Amino acid sequence: MYIIIVGVGGIGRNLTEVAVAHGDNVVIIDQNESRCNEILEQYDVLAIVGNSTDKQILEDAGVERADVLVATTGDDSVNLMTCWLAKRYKVPNVISIVNQKEHSDLFKEVGVTISENPDELVATKLYYWTENPHLQQLASIPGGKIFEITVDEGAPMVDREVREFTVKDFVFIAILRVGGDLIIPTGSTRILPGDAITVFTRKETEDSCIRELNRMLKKPGP
């Protein structure tokens, strides 16, 4: 892909690293020259110092041939204007961080895929771990949550089949087995110690499902 990343603070820098590792062509835009130079020292990218709300800067970045533009600055007005311009240039996929929730609808009206306040998302995830230390939350979506739980040796469901679970308000999406095998489970799939199970649970039954999965997949306490 040809990706333009606007803003190379923490999020933009990490996104650049991921995109380069995947072999994408990356262009970064930032008003801070020293940030751009730091990125250039580490990665093979094109760096442009300037304001992404300036059409000439976007054109210099190759916006007309970009597959994706991602706006990651801490200023929603900059992100929104940049995304609006990217849409005018018909960039197929336009994504932005939204720092203040009340601005989300503005981005949606422009047709931008959004990720709301990253600090709030991190705080929510940290709190999730305080309540559920055995679970790794992978995603929160309108209908519920996707998380990962690892099966303990000696857990009640070890060597039993998926169909034997009494609670049905969740779906096992995948099982990563010790040794690296990825399994798409069926009712007859047998649960083994060390299985890392990716689960989807509906929002309205989330608490009861998590309690049951902890009870059945984690080793009972003393």
Q: Does residue 171 contact residue 147 with C-beta atoms inside 8 Å? A: no
Question: Is 146 inside any structural domain?
Answer: yes
Interatomic CA distance for residues 11 and 71, integer angstroms: 10
Residues 103 and 143 both lie in one domain: no
Residues 77 and 131 both lie in one domain: no
Could you please report the per-residue DSSP string of 36-103?
A: HHHHHHHS--EEEES-TTSHHHHHHTTGGG-SEEEE--S-HHHHHHHHHHHHHTT-SEEEEEESSGGG
Residues 112 and 206 both lie in one domain: no
Q: Is the pLDDT of residue 183 over 70?
A: yes
In angstroms, the Cα distances linking 215 to 107, 129, 195, 200 are 42, 17, 15, 17
Interatomic CA distance for residues 72 and 19, integer angstroms: 14
Residues 111 and 11 both lie in one domain: yes
Q: Is the pLDDT of residue 165 over 90?
A: no
Q: Is the pLDDT of residue 6 over 90?
A: yes
Residues 94 and 167 both lie in one domain: no
Residue 105: exposed, middle, or buried by beta-carbon count in 10 A (0-12, 13-18, 19+)? exposed
Could you please report the per-residue DSSP string of 180-215?
A: S-EE---TTPBP-TT-EEEEEEEGGGHHHHHHHHHH
Residues 56 and 81 both lie in one domain: yes
**Cβ contacts of 112-117, under 8 Å, gap ≥ 24:** 112/80, 112/83, 112/87
Residues 58 and 128 both lie in one domain: no
Residues 133 and 41 both lie in one domain: no
Residues 101 and 193 both lie in one domain: no
Query: Which pLDDT score, from 0 to 100, does residue 132 have?
Result: 67
Question: pLDDT tens for residues 80-136?
Answer: 999 999 999 999 999 999 988 889 899 999 899 888 777 766 676 666 667 667 677
Residues 106 and 163 both lie in one domain: no
Question: pLDDT tens for residues 12-34?
Answer: 998 999 999 999 999 999 999 99
Residue 203: give its domain's CATH number. Answer: 3.30.70.1450
Q: Does residue 215 contact residue 156 with C-beta atoms inside 8 Å? A: yes
Domain of residue 100 covers 2-116
Question: Is 135 inside any structural domain?
Answer: yes
Question: Is 200 inside any structural domain?
Answer: yes
Question: Is 43 inside any structural domain?
Answer: yes
- Give the DSSP letter of residue 109: H
Residues 106 and 169 both lie in one domain: no
Question: Is 12 inside any structural domain?
Answer: yes
Question: Is 94 inside any structural domain?
Answer: yes
Number of domains in the chain: 2
Q: Does residue 206 contact residue 144 with C-beta atoms inside 8 Å? A: yes
Question: Is 222 inside any structural domain?
Answer: no
Of 98, 116, 134, the domain-final residue? 116
Q: Is the pLDDT of residue 59 over 90?
A: yes
What global pTM score does this model have? 0.65
* Amino acid letter, 46: L
Residues 52 and 102 both lie in one domain: yes
Query: Which pLDDT score, from 0 to 100, does residue 219 have?
Result: 85
Q: What is the rounded average pLDDT for all residues in the chain?
A: 88
